Structure 1
Amino acid sequence: MIKHWSQYSLTTKVLVGMVAGLATGVLTRTFLSENVFVSQYVTDGLFHIIGQIFISSLKMLVVPLIFTSIVCGTSSLSDASTLGRLGFKTLALYLFTTAVAITLAIVSALIVKPGVGANLEAVSSFSAKEAPAISEVLIHLFPDNPIEAMASGNTLQIIVFAVLFGIAIGAAGDSGDKIARLFDALNDVMMKLVALLMNVAPYGVFCLMAKLFTTIELSAIVSLAKYFTLLLCVLLIHALVTYCSLLKIFTGLSPRTFLSKMDDAAMFAFSTASSNATIPVTMETVTYRFGVSNRIASFTIPLGSTINMDGTAIMQGVATVFIAQAFGIELTISDYLSVILTATLASIGTAGVPGVGMVMLAMVLKQVGLPLEGIALVMGVDRLLDMVRTAVNITGDCAVTCIVAKSEGAMDVDVFYDPEAGVKEETIDFHHIR
């Protein structure tokens, strides 16, 4: 018996949209690339407009969702010292996984040698932006204008202000209780907005994938096949081995169950290539499918989307070795140790900087004396790999959130193992809002 479209799960709908968009993009590029009408009104018109509206809608939810959920979680804490312990655990885990990621990448690249014999020459130059100093980043954690921080989408500043605001609400007695109830209501409304957007998500994903695969240069992937394949394999190993091992060791939870419930968030991360844009879906996943308390998820997920750069760290490790080999430059053990340290610290030091992946790679290449023009060698395939990197980063955010929540006794294990938990998405009846 054939199901009606509305009876399929969100995961199935998004997967169908993704595959259909990919096929549409490839077919359009193959058979209609010279058709001006299709290019102007379909690819750069309809697909581009709907895809960008979808991305903008996701980003629209990020700032109010982060602010309301962190305020709700922080104001409910009975002991403010809990926040310090929570922050230390989260930050330590994110930095540890990043260090493991880049170490794994460098070791794999040294074994496989993707750049040996390539003898490639950069066809374009790359102008690197200056990464901010660590002292500057620490100063800018604290907003001098919280409204401006929200308007510009500065995630770390929003987190700091929301935490301080939440603590103040908890300390304000009866007046604080009134404000806390208001934010609880606002948080419920924000989750309803997320549910509303999920109803149109498959169509947005279809348009994003259709537009993307009419522009990806497949010839670039072929010319860099060894680099592309190695980086893809290391990303998958990190997601399937590193994260799952940490989850099993620190929580005893089933990695199989964890991965099976990651599908929605991973697919959204892959299709949008943006950790920030995926925050609403990631928070919904860890809260409703994994059973993590909102007071934990509201802190770890936004922080992870900003500083958890495991996928980017893996790219830096593989790209550094690849570029060195392609240009015939020998790197010493101390150089590789320097790469590991620089990339790990840079995952915090470059938070919030546009083009963070290329900024971090430029920092690493400068550190070990490799030519910055080497970045141009890998830029041709970076867009597709960036989608995979984002999915890996999101998986890391969820794994760390589960570990921290379990250690704080803020996770419902029954929900985690319930295969039906969070599966049925909330539908919006636009004919009967109330």
Structure 2
Amino acid sequence: MKKVPMWLQMIAGMVLAVIVGLIFVSMGISEGNWLYSIFSFVSNAFIRLINMLVVPLVITSLIVGIAGLKDPLKLGSIGWKTIVYFLSTTFLAVIIGLILVNLIQPGTGFHVPSDVKAPDSGDMNSISDTFLNMIPTNPITALTETSILQIIFFSIFVGIAMVFLGEKAKPAYNFFEAFFEIMMKITAWIMALAPYGVFALIVKTICDNGSTVFAPLAKYMFVVLLGMLLHLCLVYFTAIKTLGKMSPIKFLRGVAPAWLVAFSTASSNATLPVSIRSVENNLGVGNRVSSFVLPLGATVNMDGTALYEGVAALFIAQAYGIHLGLGSQFVILITAALAAIGAAGIPGAGLITMVLVLNAVNLPVEGIGLILAVDRILDMFRTSVNVLGDCTATVVIGRKEGEIDDTKAEGVA
């Protein structure tokens, strides 16, 4: 009997998880119950296993990918194309969100609770500080604190130095290449557990939120989800078809394991090992492109987060009866895009950077309390869009660089 594909196993796990989750909710099973504790343990263990891979995989994949380019001109070519693509799709995402929220007006007539409180935002950095903080003062500290942007920055410089050193850096290249292969083998082992991890994560999420908690904010959720769907169809599918020269159906089948894990974990960083494996094994993208584009995209390419922040800011303004003109909405466009770039690839990070967007147009920060109830479920959707955006960029850049093996892409037809 032919082995059931991983993506199909995970879809089955998700469907079964919804059924079990709804049964648990009807039985009143929640935190503190022994059944809930079992699912909580399995889901947390699965996330920890994936997170265990992130730092060593980012370091080794970036260094090996960049150093493997060998030609400094090719390194520059991939770099500028990736940055231009990321910025373009991020701004398009916010524009789509703002257009929809202006047309549908989900916040109009919303009754703001009088006791709503804003979450603790911590020390919010300015936009310039966000870029400045990409430079590590101590790479070892960046590793221990899992500062992904700083790790990426340092790894890029190590890889670039190895490119210019050539044969002198060959021993170091061999070490990182072997380490990368080790991490990919561990990734394969952990991904064999993915259907069970996804099942436990979704059951736990349903038990935490119940089946009726999202009803009061259904219109707001509809706008966010519609915006993400339009961004997927209008931007990603168009880019895959015209720039990536690949069928959108083949693309979705190839990256299905990545976006399903992204949906269940709500973490771009945690999904990174799966994304690399999916685009390389299923879509034929070369490691020299995937190892550069995907780790960078997991941190700075957050289209779903940017769209969500634009919609949420305008929704909060409508809920408070505050009119924002084109000038203020343009500020939201710029700030949401930059705030999304600075958002960490972990669950809930977009909620904190939301404070930056609200402050930019003088909206009440306590308005964040209006969207807290549905943030977790939307976080799962926007993370899946973030990851699909990273994978789309990898295919587009891979095609432009001639780094796609179409025989592998045909394998998922």
Question: Is TM-score (shorter-chain normalized) higher than 0.5?
Answer: yes
Within the candidate set 328, 331, 334, 1:335 is matched to 328
Matched with 2:65 is: 73
Whether 1:11 and 2:1 are equivalent positions in the alignment is no
Task: Give, in whole Å, the separation in 1 of the partners of 2:337 and 2:28.
Answer: 45
Whether 1:416 and 2:390 are equivalent positions in the alignment is no
Matched with 1:129 is: 122
Matched with 1:305 is: 298
Q: Could you say if the C-alpha distance between residues 203 and 399 of structure 1 is closer, same or farther in structure 2, counting changes exceeding 3 Å?
A: same
Matched with 1:118 is: 110
Task: Give, in whole Å, the separation in 1 of the partners of 2:346 and 2:224.
Answer: 23
Whether 1:99 and 2:95 are equivalent positions in the alignment is no
Within the candidate set 9, 16, 24, 1:20 is matched to 16
CA contact (8 A) 1:76 1:170 kept: yes
Query: Any idea what the Cα deviations from partners look like across 1:194-224, whole Å, max 9, x if unmatched?
Result: 1100111111111111111101144331111
Task: Give, in whole Å, the separation in 1 of the partners of 2:305 and 2:407.
Answer: 34
Task: Give, in whole Å, the separation in 1 of the partners of 2:274 and 2:346.
Answer: 23
Number of positions where the alignment pairs a residue of Structure 1 with one of Structure 2: 412
Task: Give, in whole Å, the separation in 1 of the partners of 2:229 and 2:357.
Answer: 23
Query: Any idea what the Cα deviations from partners look like across 1:342-367, whole Å, max 9, x if unmatched?
Result: 11222334457984312322111111
Matched with 2:78 is: 86
CA contact (8 A) 2:269 2:346 kept: no
Q: CA deviation at 1:397?
A: 0.3
Identity %: 37
Task: Give, in whole Å, the separation in 1 of the partners of 2:105 and 2:69.
Answer: 51
Q: Report the TM-score when normalising by structure 2.
A: 0.94
Q: CA deviation at 1:56?
A: 0.4
Task: Give, in whole Å, the separation in 1 of the partners of 2:163 and 2:321.
Answer: 60
Return the letter of the residue paired with 2:170: D
Q: CA deviation at 1:172?
A: 4.2
- SS of structure 2 residue aligned to 1:278: helix
Task: Give, in whole Å, the separation in 2 of the partners of 1:346 and 1:261.
Answer: 30
Return the letter of the residue paired with 2:55: V
Query: Any idea what the Cα deviations from partners look like across 1:102-123, whole Å, max 9, x if unmatched?
Result: 1100111111111112223254
Return the letter of the residue paired with 2:89: T
CA contact (8 A) 1:122 1:373 kept: no
CA contact (8 A) 2:268 2:298 kept: yes
Whether 1:155 and 2:151 are equivalent positions in the alignment is no
Matched with 1:144 is: 137
Q: CA deviation at 1:179?
A: 2.3
Return the letter of the residue paired with 1:61: L
Which range moves more in the overlay, 308-317 or 268-277?
A: 308-317
- SS of structure 2 residue aligned to 1:277: helix
Q: CA deviation at 1:280?
A: 0.4
Task: Give, in whole Å, the separation in 1 of the partners of 2:167 and 2:78.
Answer: 26
Query: Any idea what the Cα deviations from partners look like across 1:43-102, whole Å, max 9, x if unmatched?
Result: 0x2111111110000000111111111111122222223323322211111111111111
Matched with 1:423 is: none
Task: Give, in whole Å, the separation in 1 of the partners of 2:188 and 2:173.
Answer: 23
- SS of structure 1 residue aligned to 2:33: helix
Matched with 2:231 is: 238
CA contact (8 A) 2:269 2:345 kept: no
Matched with 2:160 is: 167
Task: Give, in whole Å, the separation in 1 of the partners of 2:113 and 2:258.
Answer: 38
Return the letter of the residue paired with 1:181: N
Q: CA deviation at 1:163?
A: 2.0
Q: CA deviation at 1:379?
A: 0.8
Matched with 1:286 is: 279
Query: Any idea what the Cα deviations from partners look like across 1:213-259, whole Å, max 9, x if unmatched?
Result: 10114433111111112211111111122111122232332222212
- SS of structure 1 residue aligned to 2:324: coil
Q: Could you say if the C-alpha distance between residues 89 and 229 of structure 1 is closer, same or farther in structure 2, counting changes exceeding 3 Å?
A: same
Task: Give, in whole Å, the separation in 2 of the partners of 1:162 and 1:147.
Answer: 12
Task: Give, in whole Å, the separation in 2 of the partners of 1:122 and 1:271.
Answer: 33
Query: Any idea what the Cα deviations from partners look like across 1:1-34, whole Å, max 9, x if unmatched?
Result: xx6xx93221122122222222222211111338
Within the candidate set 203, 206, 209, 1:213 is matched to 206
Q: Could you say if the C-alpha distance between residues 171 and 92 of structure 1 is closer, same or farther in structure 2, counting changes exceeding 3 Å?
A: closer
Which range moves more in the overlay, 129-138 or 154-163?
A: 129-138
CA contact (8 A) 1:338 1:367 kept: yes
Within the candidate set 27, 33, 37, 1:31 is matched to 27
Q: Report the TM-score when normalising by structure 1.
A: 0.90
Task: Give, in whole Å, the separation in 2 of the partners of 1:206 and 1:345.
Answer: 34
Task: Give, in whole Å, the separation in 2 of the partners of 1:391 and 1:354.
Answer: 12
Q: CA deviation at 1:374?
A: 1.1
Task: Give, in whole Å, the separation in 2 of the partners of 1:30 and 1:307.
Answer: 40
CA contact (8 A) 1:287 1:294 kept: yes
Which range moves more in the overlay, 74-83 or 337-346?
A: 74-83
CA contact (8 A) 1:124 1:376 kept: yes
